[in-house]
Amino acid sequence: MRKKITVIGAGIVGMATASYLRRDGHDVTVVTMHPPGEYCSSGNAGMLNDAGCVPQAMPGVLWKVPGYLMDPLGPLVVRWPYLVKSMPWMLRFLANANARQAERASIALYSLIRGTVSTYEELVKWAGATGLVRRSGYLVAYASDKSYQNDALAWRLRRARGVRMETLDGAGIRGLVPQLAPAYERGVHVLDQGYVANPERLVKALAARFQKDGGVILERKVLDIETGEGGVRALATDAGSIPVETLVICAGVHSGELTASLGEPVPIEAERGYHVTYSDPGLQIPMPVHVSDAKVFVTPMEMGVRVAGQAEFAGIYAEPNYRRAEVLEIHMKRMFPQARMTDATRWMGRRPAMPDSLPVIGASVKQKGVFYAFGHGHLGLCGGAPTGRLIADLVAGRRPAIDLTPFRVDRF
């Protein structure tokens, strides 16, 4: 049955969801306060890796945190004034950092993002932007056998899910990515993975095809959601009220502000990350490279080479601290000493992070006609298209392809 559906958010999750819903023949309107793809989904590392099926909350993380915080080049920063405010989220995060939860989260994440590359290949073909998705595998590099061993549990989880990989010595690493510095002695070539050569253009391509097919995009900020006996009624926006029948919330890190107004608060934090993109670094990098200790990805993109990473907790609204981007530049220099590091652009984005590393995907428990698709943290690109397909199934009353229990909104 053809429905009238409103989607809040035009990041990768919102635009993929709107695209699948439109393809099902519904009347779909997207309401977004940023142009399509210009919020967190613009500047990510582009990875489409089902090897990402490892939660952030891993056993032993508590003991690593002090070292991360004290290291000026470390991957984690908490702005001290924000620590108290983020404490409830941090405690939930730490409560998930045990082997049982890590296994459960890994199974759930893999069920969601498995086959993400083929899912996107089909979607970008529909959008007429095929060159954007590249199959390449990726390299994870370690400076020592000890750091490789420190990641043993993560590799066990990936192997248990069926991710294919080959371990490498220094010569093997250089064979794969000759320009990577000789300091890296251990590596893993993760097979069957891919990446998006321009994440912002991907979202814009979906938006263009969606509009061409009759979808509507309104640039407005949603201030409140009005409900009545029968469920949601209207969105109060900065440019007037919009009547709604079926509503999907894909508002990234702002989703918590909206679900709270529906009586379903969720623990969501802004895990802020940074990137630096070099337009002409003079490198030939055949595949993305991840240095696990620094938690940094270097991805060859159509606009240059991007180094991305960092986890900064400072809330949604604090100004960027581009000192974190300088840290990424230092790691880039270590990885690729011959890189030409002029002509660089810097960016900060807010990952919508849940304390158990799992997004919220599914129907509201309290409001009829409301669906949620947010909280993908480090995996919003990988999980965006698969999530959109699942929401389209739920809206149509089709049985979703995976068990959505781990992603329920009322799990907290």
Ligand X SMILES: Cc1cc2nc3c(=O)[nH]c(=O)nc-3n(C[C@H](O)[C@H](O)[C@H](O)COP(=O)(O)OP(=O)(O)OC[C@H]3O[C@@H](n4cnc5c(N)ncnc54)[C@H](O)[C@@H]3O)c2cc1C
Task: Give helix 12-23 / helix 199-212 axis angle, nearest 10°.
Answer: 30
Residues 6+ apart with CB under 8 A from 91: none
Residues 15, 18, 23, 28, CA torsion sign = negative
Least distance from ligand X to the Cβ atom of residue 366, Å = 19
**With binding defined as CB under 6 A, does residue 349 bind ligand X?**
yes
- Give me the DSSP letters along 101-128: HHHHHHHHHHHHHTTHHHHHHHHHHHHT
**With binding defined as CB under 6 A, does residue 275 bind ligand X?**
yes
Q: What burial letters (b/e) apply to 172-206, b meaning 16+ CB within 10 Å?
A: ebbebbebbbeebbbbbbbebbbbbbbbbbbbbbb
**With binding defined as CB under 6 A, does residue 45 bind ligand X?**
yes
Q: Which stretch binds ligand X (CB under 6 A): 27-35, 62-70, 84-92, 361-369?
A: 27-35
**With binding defined as CB under 6 A, does residue 40 bind ligand X?**
yes
Report residue 221 as tokens. Answer: 């900020």
From CA 351, how far away is CA 403, in angstroms rounded? 24
Least distance from ligand X to the Cβ atom of residue 86, Å = 17
Nearer to ligand X, 47 or 247 (CB): 47
From CA 305, how far away is CA 329, in angstroms rounded? 12
- Binding-site size for ligand X (CB under 6 A) equals 40
- For 254, other C-beta atoms within 10 Å of its C-beta total 21
Nearer to ligand X, 33 or 183 (CB): 33
Please identify which residue in 7, 13, 276, 335 interacts with ligand X, judged by CB under 6 A.
13
Least distance from ligand X to the Cβ atom of residue 20, Å = 14
Please identify which residue in 3, 24, 27, 33 interacts with ligand X, judged by CB under 6 A.
33
From CA 2, how far away is CA 308, in angstroms rounded? 41
**With binding defined as CB under 6 A, does residue 380 bind ligand X?**
yes
Nearer to ligand X, 40 or 294 (CB): 40
Least distance from ligand X to the Cβ atom of residue 32, Å = 4
**With binding defined as CB under 6 A, does residue 14 bind ligand X?**
yes
From CA 115, how far away is CA 122, in angstroms rounded? 11
From CA 156, how far away is CA 54, in angstroms rounded? 10
Least distance from ligand X to the Cβ atom of residue 355, Å = 15
Element (H, E) at 226: strand 222-228
- Tell me if 253 sits within 8 A of 270, measured CB to CB: yes
Least distance from ligand X to the Cβ atom of residue 374, Å = 5
**With binding defined as CB under 6 A, does residue 376 bind ligand X?**
yes
Q: Which stretch binds ligand X (CB under 6 A): 25-33, 64-72, 77-85, 162-170?
A: 25-33
Q: Which stretch binds ligand X (CB under 6 A): 34-42, 123-131, 338-346, 362-370?
A: 34-42
Nearer to ligand X, 102 or 249 (CB): 249
Query: CA gyration radius for the chain?
Result: 21
Residue 223: strand, helix, or coil:
strand
Q: Which stretch binds ligand X (CB under 6 A): 55-63, 82-90, 330-338, 374-382?
A: 374-382
β-partners of residue 297 are 290, 308
Nearer to ligand X, 23 or 351 (CB): 351
Element (H, E) at 349: strand 344-353
Least distance from ligand X to the Cβ atom of residue 1, Å = 27
Q: Which stretch binds ligand X (CB under 6 A): 40-48, 126-134, 151-159, 402-410?
A: 40-48
From CA 332, how far away is CA 106, in angstroms rounded? 29
Nearer to ligand X, 251 or 361 (CB): 251
Q: Which residue is nearest to ligand X (CB)?
A: 380
Please identify which residue in 5, 6, 7, 10 interacts with ligand X, judged by CB under 6 A.
10
**Among the listed residues 203, 379, 174, 388, the one whose alpha carbon sits nearest the alpha carbon of residue 289:** 174
Nearer to ligand X, 90 or 236 (CB): 236
**With binding defined as CB under 6 A, does residue 252 bind ligand X?**
yes
**With binding defined as CB under 6 A, does residue 306 bind ligand X?**
no
> Where does this chain bind ligand X (CB under 6 A)?
8-14, 31-34, 39-41, 44-47, 221-222, 250-254, 273-275, 308, 349, 351-352, 374, 376-382
